[in-house]
Amino acid sequence: MYQLTTSTSIIRLTDNACIPPDPANRDYREYLEWVDAGNTPEPAPEPPAPLDPVELTPVEKLAASSLTIEELKQLLGLN
Amino acid sequence: MSQTTAQLVSEINGGSISGTRNRIINGAMAADQRNAGASQTFTAAAALAYSVDRWYGYSTGANVTGQRIQGATVGQFYYRFTGAASVTAIGFGQRIEQLNSAELASTTATLSVDLANSLLTSVTWTAFYANTADTFGTLASPTRTQIATGTFTVTSTVTRCSTNISVPAAATTGIEIVFTVGAQTSGTWTIGNVQLEPGTVATPFERRSYGLELALCQRYYLSYGDFHIGMNGNTNAQGDGAFPVQMRASPTLSYTDTSGVANQVSIWSGTFNSSTFTNGGFAASTLRVVLDASTSFSSGTSSWLRAYNVKLSAEL
């Protein structure tokens, strides 16, 4: 049993080894024989959804900007 | 120069007493990158399984175990199978690539081996050549042609056995040597110091340095150890390294995370964490692991990854 990847490599599911598409590689030749025998590899896995970015709190955003409250007030003309 | 001297020089330069005359790699069973001396189970009727470097084994009828064992002195080893009930056959062989055996075609070669068996009294040897270059097929569907076969009479004491083999002109595509026994239903079968050399004389086993022998083995199999992979943003990572010797072909790659889970890597972010990232591809002339850009490694964190137990195989 094999599984395709998003690249040209093949995953051998019995041991999860990654096989390159090199005709000199015995594992790849065995894969081709397996396909020639009428078998079909499993498709490449669907890429998972990207993780949501971490939502910072207002205090964390202020800390990340290195501004003090007084400096922020000054910038906004609130003094 | 007399004829005798000319013959002697010929022998020294390319004949039976020349250096690196043994076409078998790891004939002394010293290199064992896969198991480091630990026992290995050969599953009955399964595909051939590589064991000590360059050597494969198989069994029929029942599973057997095999293991590199210490010889008489430090640095000397044998390979030993332990029989089991219902075993009908055990095989142990090596495939020699074309580049290292083609010059034996149309000559007489000599096969020598140390053998012992605590149950059986004969060991069969068989020589083959590949039908196409370096392609011997599988146990179930071999693509090889038999050159010759014969039997060695063995006892429970390790004994040196040898035979001449007339290598045909067509055998320029790689040679395979296989030793087999029948119903090893108990007891042990011991093999060591295998040598295939040009000429008709069985010379003493050529003992090469361990470093040289290991380098010869690493053309076919490499236990790389741990491997660092740099991240490029949150979704892309790549690691590159160099092989100690050029491998025979683009190798099959396997690795684990820190927990030993195959085909996963670990992320460094204060502690090692298991991840679920699938290998996205690699090149083979140098070690390259590329992890697919379709997966996020972490959120907003620059980090690095580590693959453990990296192993590469370019066996025949």
pLDDT tens string A40-56? 999 987 765 555 555 67
Q: Give the pLDDT score at B144.
A: 98
Task: Give this prediction's pTM.
Answer: 0.85
> Sheet harboring B108-117: ordered strands across?
B40-42, B64-70, B77-82, B188-198, B108-117, B159-166
Q: Give the pLDDT score at B306.
A: 80
Q: Give the pLDDT score at B243.
A: 87
Query: Do B240 and B230 form a contact (C-beta atoms < 8 A)?
Result: no
Which residues of B fall within a CB distance of 8 Å from A21?
250
Q: Give the pLDDT score at B228.
A: 82
pLDDT digits (tens, 9 = 90+) for B137-178: 999 999 999 999 999 999 999 999 999 999 999 999 999 999
Of A17, A30, A48, the CB nearest to B295: A48
State the sign of the Cα–Cα–Cα–Cα dihedral B309, B64, B252, A32.
Answer: negative
CA pair distance B225, B308, nearest whole angstrom: 6
Q: Give the pLDDT score at B222.
A: 95
CA distance, residue A54 to nearest chain B CA (Å) = 7
Chain B contact for A7 (CB, 8 A cutoff): yes
Which of the four pLDDT bands, split at 50, 70 and 90, describes residue B26? very high
Query: Do B82 and B64 form a contact (C-beta atoms < 8 A)?
Result: yes
Of B262, B281, B290, the CB nearest to A15: B262
List the pLDDT tens digit at each of the 79 positions of chain A. Answer: 999 987 788 989 998 888 989 999 999 999 999 999 999 999 987 765 555 555 677 877 777 777 888 888 888 888 7
Which residues of B fall within a CB distance of 8 Å from A14?
none
Q: What is the mean pLDDT of residues B91-115?
A: 98
| Residue B178 DSSP SS3 | strand
Q: Give the pLDDT score at B1.
A: 46
Q: DSSP 3-state helix, strand, coil percentages of chain A (rounded to 5)?
A: 35, 15, 55
Half-sphere exposure (CA, 13 Å, Cβ side) for B52? 29
Which of the four pLDDT bands, split at 50, 70 and 90, describes residue B273? low
State the sign of the Cα–Cα–Cα–Cα dihedral A11, A12, A18, A22.
Answer: negative
